[in-house]
């Protein structure tokens, strides 16, 4: 509860942030694991800087590992935007950052783990973009309702800010 009013979007924001935040954390874990255990080799064609403990990749990142959380976020993003009050508009802006990080993760992995067949061929390699592009599309989809919410609820947020209607005890 925030100042006697219930924040109906809090649970949805948590689900959304955990889902897309997971995708970003997978990239961080992959890069850190690669740097530590594969002798500094982050990409398949890269060279090692020291003796590897394991060979690249430390762990493969299957497309479903990113698609499932991105799908969950895509399902909750519209209800989340609707249920988040205007006084919490900065949370919506933060949610856009999480979507961007998830999209970047998916974009990197779709090139790092190409597929032997698919819709989008990679030039001169005989391979295709990994199915991680689906997680990229879902993450980018999440940005659309967030942007609309920013423009729809922005004027009310500004009004609340100017009249002192925002409270420091927001959650």
Residue 68 lies in a domain: yes
User: Which of 97-101, 102-106, 154-158 is the least confident region?
Assistant: 154-158
What is the C-alpha separation between 30 and 91, in angstroms, rounded? 28
User: Residue 24 belongs to what domain range?
Assistant: 10-163
Enter the pTM of the model.
0.83
**In whole angstroms, what is the distance from residue 92 CA to residue 98 CA?**
10
pLDDT tier for residue 151 given thresholds of 50, 70 and 90: very high
> Is 117 within a domain?
yes
Q: Indicate the number of domains in the chain.
A: 1
C-alpha distances in Å from residue 48, one per residue of 37, 90, 113: 10, 42, 19
Q: How many residues does the chain have?
A: 171
* Whether residue 98 has pLDDT greater than 60: yes
Is 70 exceeded by the pLDDT of residue 33?
yes
Q: Is the pLDDT of residue 168 over 60?
A: no
Q: How many angstroms separate the Cα of 170 from the Cα of each of 78, 89, 145, 147, 165? A: 22, 11, 23, 22, 11
Start-to-end CA distance of the chain, whole Å, equals 8
């Amino acid at each position: 509860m925030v100042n006697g009013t219930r924040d109906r979007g809090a649970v949805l924001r948590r689900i959304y942030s955990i889902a897309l935040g997971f995708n970003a954390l997978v990239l961080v874990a992959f890069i850190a694991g690669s740097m530590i255990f594969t002798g500094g080799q982050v990409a398949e064609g890269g060279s090692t800087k020291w003796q590897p403990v394991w060979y690249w990749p430390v762990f493969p990142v299957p497309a479903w590992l990113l698609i499932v959380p991105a799908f969950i976020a895509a399902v909750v993003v519209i209800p989340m935007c609707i249920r988040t009050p205007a006084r919490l508009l900065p949370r919506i802006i933060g949610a856009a950052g999480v979507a961007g990080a998830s999209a970047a993760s998916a974009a990197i992995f779709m090139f790092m783990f190409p597929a032997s067949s698919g819709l989008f061929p990679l030039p001169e390699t005989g391979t295709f973009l990994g199915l991680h592009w689906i997680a990229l599309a879902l993450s980018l989809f999440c940005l659309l309702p967030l942007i609309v919410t920013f423009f729809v609820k922005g004027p009310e947020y500004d009004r609340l800010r100017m009249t002192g209607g925002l409270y420091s005890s927001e959650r």
